[in-house]
Structure 1
Amino acid sequence: MALEGYTSHSARSVGEQDLAGRIAPGYRADLTAFAVDPVRLTMTGGAVVHRT
């Protein structure tokens, strides 16, 4: 539920559900990869902005 809140629900809350909030063709590549270290990778607009 927390991940859904950070993804599809946040995109919907700002009216961007047709271009953000999921990993799918045609959607903006804004994503964060989680592991033991909470944030391993962050991308915005298809560009890596943080990597550990």
Structure 2
Amino acid sequence: MPRGEQDHAGRIAPGIRADLTALSVDPVEAPTDEPTEAPVRLTVTGGHVVHRGD
């Protein structure tokens, strides 16, 4: 992370920019091959929702 960004990015919290992807399955609990086939429910980049799945 660039210097000085610690207060604005890098964690999931209100007011913080975030990049994340939410899958329709729990990738920790699912069988090994299931997450690669799971639909993407949400993608957030730079704190903005860029994709909402069904």
| TM-score, reference length from structure 2 | 0.43
| TM-score, reference length from structure 1 | 0.44
Identify which of structures 1 and 2 has the higher relative contact order when contacts are C-alpha pairs closer than 8 Å and 6+ apart. 2
Q: Which has the larger radius of gyration?
A: 2
Q: Which has the higher strand share?
A: 2
